[in-house]
Amino acid sequence: MTALDDRPVFRFAPSPNGHLHLGHAFSALLNHDLAAEVGGRLLLRIEDIDTVRCTPQLERDMLEDLAWLGVDWEQPVRRQSDHFDDYQAALQDLVDAGVAYPSALSRGDVKRIVEVEEAQGIEWPRDPDGAPLFPGRAYEDRAEDTDMLAWRLDVAVAKAHLGVETVTWTEEGAGPDGETGQLVLDPAVWGDFVLARRDTPTSYHLSVVIDDALQGVTHVVRGRDLFHATAVHILLQMLFGAPHPIYVHHDLILEPGSTRKLSKSRNDTSLRAMRAGGAMPSDIRRMVGL
């Protein structure tokens, strides 16, 4: 690539913690087709920060499935577990800026705090997935054990630091309620999210933002289940002074006859199983509506 290369950059970023299924095939093929349509580049990123669930064998199987499907990507492939230093340095920048804090509150602590508050009739705020929001820095003294468990972003401090209340992005796909176009959202809906854990020196949110920036990604095409996470990704991009890609959140492929999205634990819809059953790449394309 030269400095004059201004082609759009797409990426497909699967986690090798199970076999790819029809949902991944849809996402990979859509990235591939959209990149081809606009003369863009397609990168592949292995999101394997969970070094227990992600294995080299699953990574090899994944690359083989993608190649079989007819998706081609540029070399080199970026494997996140090779770059923990990058995420550590980024985390340090946030710590130095005073927007990150070490947290000792465990899941059990949070549960207890929320129960106590709700017993007093206080309606505790929930995130878009319905989970109670992390209580925040003010509750740190309620931790049963004072060992640091995670670094969290102090979202209120980060917003004040940037002088913003909301974040905006360009959505060329759609959110769960049909949100599209120029969007304005409050990143506080997730509370003080995790940047890194004691046992994993990064988090999905931190590494995805660092990598999209380092890899010059201009178009993020991914499943609608990550739509709401985008608000915190934009906030992190602002803190790092990184550009904002265009986002395309696409439909999720659902389990047959259900409203649940496919999961990696269901083997019958894995690409491997379908291939073993005689399916061709063209069948997969047809099944995902491409």
Q: Which is nearer to ligand GLU, 8 or 135 (CB)?
A: 8
DSSP code, position 95: H
| Structure token pair of residue 12 | 């497909």
Question: How far is Cα 106 from Cα 141, in angstroms, rounded to an integer?
Answer: 12
Q: What does the binding site for ligand GLU look like in residue numbers (CB under 6 A)?
A: 13-15, 47, 208, 222, 226
Closest distance to ligand GLU from the beta carbon of 226 (Å):
5
Closest distance to ligand GLU from the beta carbon of 157 (Å):
25
Q: Which is nearer to ligand GLU, 14 or 173 (CB)?
A: 14
Quickly count: other Cβ atoms within 10 Å of residue 182's Cβ.
8
Quickly count: other Cβ atoms within 10 Å of residue 156's Cβ.
14
Closest distance to ligand GLU from the beta carbon of 278 (Å):
27
Closest distance to ligand GLU from the beta carbon of 127 (Å):
17
Q: Which is nearer to ligand GLU, 143 or 208 (CB)?
A: 208
Q: Which is nearer to ligand GLU, 208 or 210 (CB)?
A: 208
**115 burial level (CB within 10 Å; 0-12, 13-18, 19+):** exposed
First to last CA, the chain: 30
Sign of CA dihedral 200, 204, 210, 215: positive
Closest distance to ligand GLU from the beta carbon of 229 (Å):
8
Q: Which is nearer to ligand GLU, 152 or 264 (CB)?
A: 264
